[in-house]
């Protein structure tokens, strides 16, 4: 008993008392928003309340254990109730709780006030990546895990931001109130960045709201917090907060790139460039389920290498990628990938890992298909 | 430590008066049939306890697979698919296969003995409730061998991960949970019928030992919420196999509805796993303090208050799903309120020890560890109740630390305390003292080394249910994994203690502990197969 108490006391002290321990990631981060600081202070207040109550209760208990030992010849008293004492120790905790509820309520109200945002971002969870859409700006992209598989399997040395790095971070302006609208294409995910004190479930069929006003430029890392299937550990969130000016530049660059990509839809693409682009898309979007070697993981994720149905029926193949499979894990990629990416990845799948259909799909075909459906 | 323990009561001091009737009547089946057909509450109690101990080891092995993978960052031993099956099965087996059946086993053994009843009120039903369990868990474990693997969506099985996106074996998982649920409901009915009808003449409700009281309230909780679980898994079954869309947004359903229904079951379920523990500790602390329980009546009221509040707090598990502000506030306030009756219990235990005459036999060691460690779990629970802060804590290792503190050094330690307390009554021998003390200290060190660092990894930002993690969490995970293996290995000592105790050891008199008061100590040790065939002479304590 004594051991565990010393241990706990040691743990608690190093967690809460020493500033170095705070800095080295033993405690909740203070964060970089007004709300994250409010939440941090609520956390510390309730923590210290618990510590004080703990010292009193365990103090009384260990005093009794030491002082009234049978082996010291202690004779037991006979009292077994005391109404006023019982009333007091019911009432005092109640008062403490009321005192705690007041600031907690104020903070919560603030967290729920998503009105008057300067910028709206649609955040969509997908197995296992995040998609960000800057509403009204026509900028949207998918953010995938940036850590190479070799680091996960241990063949390569792990980098500094192992599992907390992405190919494209969410870029946000500092000082602006950014409203996040969260939803999901498949299962429930949860978008979480500790430094921003934002954690909100992304639920299929629902749009949740949260907001953030970042005060300091920097890179803030988090990850999915709701079990969402096998790669739950591998869908990080990275937010890059930049000055407003830099943000506008970045937005303009993204718009330009999107326009260029749109032009690519109309021209004829060669087999090699489709394959090259397709391999890229496959690696970041498809490989987590269907595996880098196309062998899949049946029964949930069928093999693509040597998949006869897929090779025989090109239209079915395109339709599966565009519209997904209802009632199964395969998502619809019509809104996630652009026509160039869809055409490229289908072409790649039809001609990789020993698949020899020899045919290709042109971005213009996909664009036509998507338009027809709308 | 051994030298400081007071001498145990000697057989000459035995006060056995009632019970101890000779075996009478017809020939009993032997061998396997004896156990298959038994309607005796003591034998069924033993079956429950042995079953739960085996499940505890199976669930423990799954936990060790998880901890072995988490020992270092990177994927070394298992792939994420299998890792998710291990976390899921660990949770399901421990909750439904280890902790709950252990309490039912203790109730089977001790409730009739504590109220002076000859057996459970419905003995054949009792046999049926037990034998449903091996069927349910054989089915559940067999899903691991099915194509696509076993359940991999966490023990909370949130839809649509557990419906549209689930492995094909999910239908079997649903069936096994149905069977386990029926077993629980039948067991609860039996316990209520026994307590309300079979008390010794003169024993009023407010004379009952607290273990009986807490089990009575627990049984009502079970009857109230197990049907909700049955409902929600049936809706899953329909969604998976019959094309309904209860939880499928694309078909007009609502994934959040699943969580409301699950936690309406799930939160009372949490108290189902802790209220009987309160009862056990409330028996042990007075015995080894040689002083009556402080505030008996307020203990009963606090238990009832916790049970009622347990129906009003479920959505505190859902603070980040996007509840309306008003709901968020309501569930924050009700959750904070639970701290009040829970606090009353802890204060009462401490007041019982105050000015007592305390000795530290193994049951008392476990009970004291329970009080401290359960309270630590209670503190983190209070922190989690603060809804704005929960936006940071939610679904992190801080939550894992919290509920393991309540369930392992909490509920499990209370079960171990109860086992050490009643082993002399069950076997007629005291558990081996040295081994028991080793078991206790290694368990305490192991359990805290495992779960205390999880507070830190959670606060630092590590989500739960991940097979691989960022480098800053590595040190905490090394400690947790080492602790888990220490804790797991030290439970083998418990098995050794039980085997030794069944086979022999220091003989225990009827009243095995000097300060013990309740009726079970008036029958001989070991308790004969049939006790209280004529009702005992009960003299109320006047609580």
DSSP code string of B304-348: HHHHHHTTS-GGGGGTTS---HHHHHHHHHHHHHHHHHHHHHHHH
DSSP H helices in A194-338: 244-264, 271-281, 287-290, 308-312, 314-323
- Same domain? For A101 and A35 the reply is yes
A351 touches chain B (CB under 8 A): no
Annotated active-site residue B464? The verdict is yes
Where do the DSSP E strands lie in chain A? 119-126, 129-134, 139-143, 170-173, 178-184, 189-193, 198-202, 208-212, 218-223, 236-242
Could you give the number of structural domains in chain A? 3
Let me know if residue A75 belongs to a domain: no
Q: Which residue of B has its CA nearest to A50?
A: B379
Residue with the larger pLDDT of the pair A295 and B429? B429
- Same domain? For A300 and A191 the reply is no
Decide yes or no: CATH 1.20.210.10 for domain B32-522: yes
CA gap B119, B78 in Å, rounded: 48
State ipTM: 0.90
Q: In whole angstroms, what separates CA B33 from the centre of its chain?
A: 29
Q: Comparing C-alpha atoms, which of A195, A29, A111 is closest to residue B319?
A: A111
CA gap A129, A293 in Å, rounded: 20
In chain B, which among 423-462 make CB contacts under 8 A with chain A?
Answer: 441, 444-445, 448-449, 452-453, 455-456, 459-461
Closest CA of chain B from A263, distance in Å? 34
Q: B475 and A24 in contact (C-beta within 8 Å)?
A: no
Q: B282 and B300 in contact (C-beta within 8 Å)?
A: no
Domain termination site, one of A204, A227, A260: A260
% helix, strand, coil for chain A, step of 5 = 45, 15, 35
Residue with the larger pLDDT of the pair A330 and B390? B390
- Same domain? For A147 and A248 the reply is yes
Indicate if the pLDDT at residue A318 is higher than 60. Answer: yes
Of B158, B365, B456, the CB nearest to A1: B365
The residues, any chain, with a CB within 8 Å of residue A201's CB and separated by 6 or more, are A182, A188, A189, A190, A208, A226, B320, B321, B322
A21 touches chain B (CB under 8 A): no
In chain B, which among 342-371 make CB contacts under 8 A with chain A?
Answer: 343-344, 346-347, 349-359, 365, 368-369, 371
- Same domain? For A251 and A291 the reply is no
Let me know if residue A76 belongs to a domain: no
Let me know if residue A367 belongs to a domain: yes
3-state secondary structure B141-206: HHHHHCCCCCCCCCCCCCCCCCCCCCCCCHHHHHHHHHHHHHHHHHHHHHHHHHHHHCCCCCCCHH
Annotated active-site residue B184? The verdict is yes
Domain with A304 in it:
265-373
Whether A203 sits inside 8 A of B339 (CB atoms) is no
Closest CA of chain A from B339, distance in Å? 8
Let me know if residue A33 belongs to a domain: yes
Q: In whole angstroms, what separates CA B532 from the centre of its chain?
A: 28
CA gap B34, B7 in Å, rounded: 38
Chain A residues lying within 8 Å of B480, measured CB to CB: none
Indicate if the pLDDT at residue A201 is higher than 60. Answer: yes
- Same domain? For A211 and A341 the reply is no
Q: Which residue of A has its CA nearest to B369?
A: A1
Give the model's pLDDT for residue B2: 45
- Same domain? For A137 and A216 the reply is yes
Indicate if the pLDDT at residue A156 is higher than 60. Answer: yes
- Same domain? For A248 and A142 the reply is yes
Give the model's pLDDT for residue B23: 47
Give the model's pLDDT for residue A212: 97
Q: B491 and B57 in contact (C-beta within 8 Å)?
A: yes
Domain termination site, one of A200, A232, A260: A260
- Same domain? For A339 and A241 the reply is no
Here the CATH number for the domain that contains residue A173 is 2.60.40.420
Closest CA of chain A from B351, distance in Å? 8
Over the range A1-37, which residues count as b (16 or more CB within 10 Å of their CB) and which as e?
A: beebbeebeebbeebeeeeeebeebbbbbbbbbebbe
Domain termination site, one of A226, A260, A294: A260
Q: Of these residues, B43, B119, B207, B390, which one is catalytic?
A: B119
Give the model's pLDDT for residue B543: 45
Give the model's pLDDT for residue A269: 86
Q: Of these residues, B170, B287, B342, B522, which one is catalytic?
A: B342
- Same domain? For A64 and A26 the reply is yes
Read off the pLDDT band of A16 (50, 70, 90).
very low
Of A108, A203, A328, the CB nearest to B387: A108
Of A61, A112, A230, the CB nearest to B84: A230
Chain B residues lying within 8 Å of A227, measured CB to CB: 84, 153-154, 158, 161, 464-465
Of A50, A158, A200, the CB nearest to B320: A200
- Same domain? For A103 and A146 the reply is no
In chain A, which among 237-276 make CB contacts under 8 A with chain B?
Answer: none
- Same domain? For A227 and A176 the reply is yes
Q: What are phi and psi of A214, to 5 degrees?
A: -80, 135
Whether B148 sits inside 8 A of A299 (CB atoms) is yes
CA gap B350, A59 in Å, rounded: 10
Let me know if residue A183 belongs to a domain: yes
Closest CA of chain A from B438, distance in Å? 12
* Number of other residues whose CB lies within 10 A of the CB of residue B144: 15
Give the model's pLDDT for residue B26: 61
Q: A228 and A235 in contact (C-beta within 8 Å)?
A: yes
Q: Of these residues, B290, B464, B507, B543, which one is catalytic?
A: B464
Q: B112 and B45 in contact (C-beta within 8 Å)?
A: no
Let me know if residue A74 belongs to a domain: no
- Same domain? For A312 and A352 the reply is yes
Of B254, B297, B388, the CB nearest to A104: B388
Let me know if residue A146 belongs to a domain: yes
Let me know if residue A224 belongs to a domain: yes
Here the CATH number for the domain that contains residue A361 is 1.10.760.10
B326 touches chain A (CB under 8 A): no
The residues, any chain, with a CB within 8 Å of residue B436's CB and separated by 6 or more, are B362, B420, B497
Task: Report how many helices (DSSP H) and strands (DSSP E) chain A contains, helices first.
Answer: 12, 10
Query: A65 to each of A76, A344, B38, B350, B372, how far by Cα in Å?
Result: 12, 74, 44, 9, 13
Q: What are phi and psi of B533, to 5 degrees?
A: -65, -30
Give the model's pLDDT for residue A335: 79
Read off the pLDDT band of A288 (50, 70, 90).
confident
| Low-confidence residues of chain B: pLDDT under 50 | 1-3, 13-15, 17-24, 543
Give the model's pLDDT for residue A266: 82
| Whole-number average pLDDT of chain B | 93
Helix or strand (DSSP H, E) at A83 = helix A83-111
Of B291, B336, B375, the CB nearest to A77: B291
CA gap B386, B316 in Å, rounded: 9
Whether B291 sits inside 8 A of A76 (CB atoms) is yes
């Amino acid at each position: 008993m004594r051991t565990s108490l010393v241990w706990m006391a040691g743990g608690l002290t190093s967690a809460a008392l020493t500033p170095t321990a705070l800095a080295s990631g033993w405690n909740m981060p203070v964060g970089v928003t007004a709300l994250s600081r409010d939440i941090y202070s609520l956390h510390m207040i309730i923590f210290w309340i618990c510590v004080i109550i703990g010292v009193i209760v365990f103090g009384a208990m260990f005093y009794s254990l030491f002082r009234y030992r049978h082996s010291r010849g202690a004779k037991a008293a006979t009292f077994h109730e005391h109404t006023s004492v019982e009333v007091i120790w019911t009432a005092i905790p109640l008062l403490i709780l009321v005192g705690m509820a007041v600031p907690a309520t104020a903070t919560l109200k603030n967290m729920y006030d998503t009105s008057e945002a300067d910028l709206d971002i649609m955040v969509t969870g997908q197995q296992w990546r995040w998609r960000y859409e800057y509403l009204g700006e026509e900028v949207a992209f998918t953010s995938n895990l940036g850590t190479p598989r070799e680091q996960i399997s241990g063949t390569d040395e792990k980098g500094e931001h192992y599992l907390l790095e992405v190919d494209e971070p969410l870029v946000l302006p500092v000082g602006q109130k950014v409203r996040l609208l969260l939803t999901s294409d498949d299962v429930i995910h949860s978008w979480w960045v500790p430094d921003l004190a934002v954690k909100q479930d992304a639920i299929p069929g629902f749009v949740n709201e949260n907001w953030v006003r970042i005060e300091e430029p920097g890179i803030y890392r988090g990850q999915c917090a709701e079990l969402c299937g096998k790669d739950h550990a591998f869908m990080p969130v990275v937010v890059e907060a930049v000055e407003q000016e830099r943000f506008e530049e970045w937005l303009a660059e993204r718009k330009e790139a999107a326009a260029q990509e749109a032009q690519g839809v109309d021209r004829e693409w060669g087999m090699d460039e489709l394959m090259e682009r397709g391999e890229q898309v496959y690696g970041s979007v498809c490989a987590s389920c269907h595996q880098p070697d196309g062998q899949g993981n049946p029964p949930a994720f069928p093999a693509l290498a040597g998949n006869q149905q897929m090779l025989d029926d090109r239209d079915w193949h395109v339709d599966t990628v565009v519209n997904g499979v209802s009632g199964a894990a395969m998502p619809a990629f019509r809104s996630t990938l652009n026509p160039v990416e869809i055409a490229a990845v289908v072409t790649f799948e039809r001609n990789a890992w020993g698949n020899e259909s020899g045919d290709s799909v042109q971005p213009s075909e996909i664009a036509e298909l998507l338009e027809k459906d709308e | 430590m051994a030298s400081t323990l007071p001498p145990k009561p000697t057989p000459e001091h035995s006060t056995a008066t009632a019970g101890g009737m000779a075996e009478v009547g017809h020939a009993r089946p032997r061998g396997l049939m004896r156990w298959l057909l038994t309607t005796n509450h003591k034998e069924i109690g033993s079956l429950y306890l042995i079953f739960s101990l085996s499940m505890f080891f199976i669930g423990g092995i799954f936990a060790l697979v998880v901890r072995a993978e988490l020992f270092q960052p990177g994927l070394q031993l298992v792939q994420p698919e299998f890792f998710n099956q291990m976390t899921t099965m660990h949770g399901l087996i421990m909750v439904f296969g280890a902790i709950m059946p252990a309490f039912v086993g203790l109730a089977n053994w001790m409730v009739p003995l504590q109220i002076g009843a000859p057996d459970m009120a419905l003995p054949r039903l009792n046999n049926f409730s037990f034998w449903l369990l091996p069927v349910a868990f054989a089915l559940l474990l067999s899903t691991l061998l099915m194509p696509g693997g076993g359940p991999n969506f966490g023990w909370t099985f949130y839809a649509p991960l557990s419906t549209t996106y689930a492995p094909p074996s999910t239908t079997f998982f649903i069936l096994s949970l149905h069977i386990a649920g029926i077993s629980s409901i039948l067991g609860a009915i039996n316990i209520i019928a026994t307590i309300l009808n079979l008390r010794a003449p003169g024993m009023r409700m407010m004379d009952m030992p607290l273990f009986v009281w807490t089990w009575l309230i627990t049984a009502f909780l079970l009857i109230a919420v197990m049907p909700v679980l049955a409902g929600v898994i049936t809706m899953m079954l329909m969604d998976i196999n019959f094309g309904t869309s209860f939880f499928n947004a694309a078909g007009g359903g609502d994934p959040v509805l699943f969580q409301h229904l699950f936690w309406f079951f799930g939160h009372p379920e949490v108290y189902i796993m802790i209220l009987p523990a309160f009862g056990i500790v409330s028996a042990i602390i007075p015995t080894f303090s040689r002083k009556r329980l402080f505030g008996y009546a307020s203990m009963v009221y606090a238990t009832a208050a916790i049970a009622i509040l347990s129906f009003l707090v479920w959505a505190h598990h859902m603070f980040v799903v996007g509840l309306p502000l008003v709901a968020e506030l309501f569930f924050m306030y009700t959750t904070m309120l639970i701290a009040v009756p829970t606090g009353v219990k802890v204060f009462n235990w401490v007041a019982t020890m105050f000015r007592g005459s305390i000795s530290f036999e193994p049951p008392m060691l476990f009970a004291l560890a329970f009080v401290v460690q359960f309270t630590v779990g209670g503190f983190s629970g209070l922190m989690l109740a603060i809804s704005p802060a929960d936006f940071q804590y939610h679904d992190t290792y801080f939550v894992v630390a919290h509920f393991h503190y309540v369930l392992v050094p909490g509920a499990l330690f209370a079960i171990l305390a109860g086992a050490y307390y009643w082993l002399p009554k069950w076997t007629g021998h005291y558990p081996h003292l040295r081994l028991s003390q080793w078991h206790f200290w290694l368990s305490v060190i192991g359990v805290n080394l495992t779960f205390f660092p999880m507070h830190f990894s959670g606060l630092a930002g590590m989500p739960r249910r991940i097979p691989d993690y960022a480098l800053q969490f590595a040190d905490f995970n090394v400690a947790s994994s080492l602790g888990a293996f220490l804790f797991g290995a030290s439970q083998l000592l418990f098995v050794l203690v039980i085997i030794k105790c069944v086979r022999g050891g220091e003989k225990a008199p009827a009243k095995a502990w000097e300060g013990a008061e309740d009726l079970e100590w008036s029958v001989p040790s070991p308790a004969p197969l049939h006790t209280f065939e004529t009702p005992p002479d009960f003299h109320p304590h006047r609580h």
